[in-house]
Structure 1
């Protein structure tokens, strides 16, 4: 039985204006009221999606979000951490050395905001986040050694991101799970971290497993989640890899694809 709906955000639940449509909002609120868990799954930290949590009224004691693409499972209301995997400064340093040699930008996401390593060149990440998180411009030497970090990202033109990924040395692959969340953003997560890992932790907390999961996504960072779910739903605008991995497909994100599939499945 499906008890939990996991939703990627950009180009899945959110339309091209980065908004939850009235139709998607209405259907998800109805299902949540009926006892179905609605779990937002994103690369962003919880403060950056607080407005979406608020819009969907996901503030009950058992409401959680999966953030940092699976690296952090956190209660929406209390902010209590259920599960977390992070990176140390030394681990970020492995990536920094490669970025210095091959000239690509890096931003490091910490517990209270984002550190832009401006000695590598200021990236496009701050502009794309639209003031959802505080940013601090620093050099790598200034990165706090007593903090841990959820992920590192490289935000640039698509051709730069493609070249960055193609040229990564084996040492980087050993330290990180590397995945694009969109064509202009490459994410470096702790090894073994993905959205399915976070969802497995969350479902286990409730005495359930991935057979109770329905998941929606469109990009490569949704792959493991859709493969692991009992019902993996690809958006109409999903990349071919995701459509091949899913066992169902719906309309695109600008046609209320999430709501359309849910209404049919749950007979709303």
Structure 2
């Protein structure tokens, strides 16, 4: 199940002339019976709503006063999300004959044409207030308070993510909360500007439109609009013609395969960074400690301490919390069993909340090995939001690979990874000639679509460029990872144990020594293998391959490339 919550406006959406019809109430009850939650998001004051709507207890939470008040019908507890404007503001409006004037626990409201007087009064008193309009209504609220803020507060109480919410509304003040929801819907009678900005418009008006939407949620999670949700696409890179390569944020499972040093980490961290930027929750299972510096996720476990599954569960209960589960503290032979136990917990959490949205399994050939019989018992036949990363796709259990619909492959002979994938799951591979990828390129195949594999250039993320900045710029690399300026006859033995020393020594070595290493591609090789910065290595490789570059020109170009990725002392 993708959508666990329906968040709906009241007037003009759920209600007709202030009242909810019986067929709409019956649909709300059907939705609750399906295991989903309901949140009412309204501009009305709570006491007014309770007078006109006797079935408020159908909802898990009510966001009233246009986002300023949160109410739980089950406990009858209220929570103010802002404070009421000062009494002198309210008195000033009365003195200026603003009528009608409604004062709630936070909200102050009137009607057109009093908006000019309201705005002038706010300016005269120097108050930090905002005015929100809704079909002639003029609502005054503290800055930052709107329906989106109220809905987010309700979801936080429920420990649910906006990515698992369908929102439906009809008017101007609904824009904010509809934009927050994964799927935004307008009822048929909605204002034209609302219809233009949502993902889906119902045929029915008001309550009939809500009934239509509920039936679609129960039937198939409104799957008919999945391909239209362009605002949630995840960028992979660009093709030769400049067109962007994207994937769906939901309903996709990925195999990321390729040789060591071929760019898997560049692509994986870029994808995870963009997933995090859109506030999808992820959990990375990291057997080798490769994500210990990945900022969007909290690290749990290290070489001295194995992670505890209860801790994983507790942290992931928070919708905004991403997690890296480091398995270095667990013996190699015990990791598959630990993963099986952990996966069961993650899937149980998903069944309740829809999260984590992405489960990333690095070194998948170790955690889901082909020789491990229990793998087929722990992996369901369909599982979205999985990313399996491996250098050996044929060593991964077929039960794991059968989940995959998107193959991303990098490094040498990328077409072989597609062939191995197909052979493992018994699928007929596409016809592919041997491929030679340029540095920073990948080969993609959407296996469930009628499309051929294609190449694209990876768009690296910010994390890749920040990796180990202090360590590599200023730290002490070991002798085996340092760069040695030796020259063609090995007359020199100048060691650069970090990037600062590399640039300093580069300034002083003779042109013959500099060009010797340049022409052999030694600089890019060192940056890729020792510094582990594939993006920078790709840039330097281009300089090394440049024709006609003098020693001074190539020196400056490589120094400039390093400076773009690392901040070095002047």
Gaps of 5+ in 2: 221-570
Give the counterpart of 2:202 among 250, 256, 265. Answer: 250
Larger Rg: 2
Describe the SS at the equivalent of 1:87: coil
Report the equivalent of 1:133: none
Aligned length: 219
Query: Secondary structure, in 3 states, of the residue corresponding to 2:219?
Result: coil
| In the alignment, structure 1 residue 153 sits paired with structure 2 residue 109 | yes
Indicate the SS of the match to 1:243. Answer: helix
Query: How many Å separate the matches in 2 of 1:203 and 1:212?
Result: 10
Aligned residue in 2 for 1:11: 12
The 5 A counterparts of 1:116-135 are: none
Out of 138, 161, 171, the residue aligned to residue 219 of structure 1 is 171
1:66 equivalent in structure 2: 63
Alignment check: 8 A CA contact 1:69 1:195 kept: yes
- Of the two structures, which has the highest relative contact order with CA contacts closer than 8 Å and spacing of 6 or more? 1
Give the alignment's Cα RMSD to 1 decimal.
2.8
Of residues 72, 81, 84 in structure 2, which corresponds to 1:84? 81
2: CA distance between counterparts of 1:77 and 1:45?
18
The TM-score, its normalising length taken from structure 2, stands at 0.35
Q: Give TM-score scaled by structure 1 length.
A: 0.71
- How far did residue 170 of structure 1 move? 4.3
Aligned residues of 2:19 and 2:53 also touching (Cα < 8 A)? no
What's the offset of the Cα at 1:96?
A: 4.3
Other structure's SS at 1:6 match: strand
Match of 2:101 in 1: 107
Q: CA separation in 2, counterparts of 1:167 and 1:186? A: 13
How far residue 152 of structure 1 moved from its aligned partner, in angstroms, is: 0.7
Q: Distance in 2 between matches of 1:193 and 1:173?
A: 18
- Residues 130-188 of structure 1: CA deviation (Å, up to 9, x unaligned): xxxxxxxxxxxxxxxxxxx3211113xx4x246556767646795222112322x2111
| 1:100 shift after superposition | 3.7
Larger displacement relative to structure 2 (20-29 or 67-76): 20-29
Question: Which stretches in structure 1 are left out of the alignment for 5+ residues?
Answer: 111-148
In structure 1, what is the Cα distance between the partners aligned to 2:129 and 2:93?
Answer: 13
Q: Does 1:194 align with 2:177?
A: no
Q: Summarize the Cα distance change of 1:223–1:168 in structure 2 as closer, same or farther, 3 Å threshold.
A: farther
Bigger CA drift: 41-50 or 200-209?
A: 41-50
The structure where strand makes up a greater share of residues is: 1
